[in-house]
Amino acid sequence: MGRGPGHRGDRRPGWAALLGARLGWRPGTRRSGQGRRGPAPRPGRAALVGLLVAAALAGGLWTGTRSRAGRPEPPPEAGASPESVARALEGRVIVLDPGHGGPDGGVVGVAGTPEKEITLAVALRLRDLLVLAGARPVLTRETDTDLRAQAVPTETTRRRQELMARVRLAEIHQAEVLLSIHANALGRNSRWQGAQVFYDPRGRPEGERLARVLQEALRELTGTTRTHRPIKQLVLERSPVPAANVEVGFLSNAEEEQRLRDPAYQDRLAHAIFLGLARYFAAPPAPARPSPPSGSPPGPSPAPVPPGSPPGSAPAPAPPGSSPGSLPAPAPPGD
């Protein structure tokens, strides 16, 4: 009997198998000097993952991004070897949170694709890449389920209890980064499209840098023109480690919904997020702000006084509707 297109033997090989083939490695066997087969030594992890990062750095080959001379644009890591970038992931504990699951399907695409399926598919692909790099990814779910069993009872609502269970996993596993993966939606069959990364300014300060490098990698490898933006989200705010939310695309756009359902595009998204994480850990964190001199009063600097005002004048008033420490509301998609 013939094999249908869904047969397991027809599944395309994963990244590990493809890269191993490029290096002449076949899992499970090797040929010894006497022609016998024995356990196959894996190639060095740095070499294998270095090839993976090198492929990602040639983003122009995937997205069509070219210089005026017709050559791929030089990658930001032109001065660093792919091996050194990939090595930064080794041993890193990263919590991957594929959004929704179980009875909570998330948003639904134009053709009926539930968000929970896309987020899990991308997260599983990303997990495999991180394992290959020697990282220690922790998934909040690996199947179509929710986190009600791990709900935090001290929270006021069931929704907050489940969301805080995701934060609790980062604490339990002493993670270094928490990454939420979601899909966006705006209306029905809207024109908005493209992956976008969000961070919460109320959370860990390094969350903004994490979101920025992830967005840069997504721009290179998926062609999105979006930029990272601030947002208020419970998981990002309460995370004990730097956190970001990757919205992989708009299910409300029929064309992008089809891309998000394509396993090849899911691979590309996972590859872009993998590259962004490698860059985040490879680059040193921003230096801490210097402490104020001893004896100086704590708190923010006083507001400036308008030029030409007499001594003792009050500071210039704040714009109407503003409040101390308030943030501008995120612009609608596409801005």
Domain ranges of the chain: 90-282
Question: How many other CB atoms are there within 10 angstroms of residue 122's CB atom?
Answer: 27
Mean pLDDT in residue range 134-156? 84
Q: What angle do CA 276, 177, 73 make, to 5 degrees?
A: 5
C-alpha to C-alpha distance for 190 and 68, rounded to whole angstroms: 33
pLDDT at 188: 79
Is pTM beyond 0.85? Reply is: no
The 10s digit of each residue's pLDDT in 104-128 is 999 999 999 999 999 999 999 999 9
| pLDDT for 45 beyond 90 | no
Reported confidence tier of residue 47, pLDDT bands at 50, 70, 90: low
Q: Poorest-confidence range of 104-113, 255-264, 301-310?
A: 301-310
- For the CA atoms of 205, 50, 181, 281, the dihedral, rounded to the nearest 10 degrees, stands at -10
| pLDDT for 35 beyond 90 | no
pLDDT at 27: 41
Q: What angle do CA 205, 152, 198 make, to 5 degrees?
A: 30
Q: Poorest-confidence range of 8-17, 123-132, 229-238, 281-290?
A: 8-17
Mean pLDDT in residue range 45-66? 50
Q: Please give the distance of CA 240 from its chain centroid, rounded to a whole number.
A: 17
Summary mean pLDDT of the chain: 74
Mean pLDDT in residue range 121-140? 96
pLDDT at 147: 79
CA 330 vs CA 246, 321, 333, 334: distances in Å: 15, 16, 9, 11
pLDDT at 118: 97
% of the chain with per-residue pLDDT over 90: 48
% of the chain with per-residue pLDDT over 70: 58
CATH 3.40.50.1970, applies to 90-282: no
Q: Which residues pair with 137 in a beta bridge?
A: 94
Q: Are 93 and 175 in contact (CB under 8 A)?
A: yes
pLDDT at 18: 44
Mean pLDDT in residue range 62-66? 35
Mean pLDDT in residue range 179-186? 96
Alpha helices in the chain (DSSP H): 15-22, 45-57, 60-63, 82-87, 115-132, 158-172, 206-222, 234-238, 254-261, 263-282
pLDDT at 158: 77
CA 190 vs CA 109, 218, 292, 320, 334: distances in Å: 11, 21, 50, 34, 11
Phi, psi (rounded to 5 degrees) for 248 = -75, -10
| pLDDT for 129 beyond 90 | yes
C-alpha to C-alpha distance for 157 and 161, rounded to whole angstroms: 6
The 10s digit of each residue's pLDDT in 207-218 is 999 999 999 999
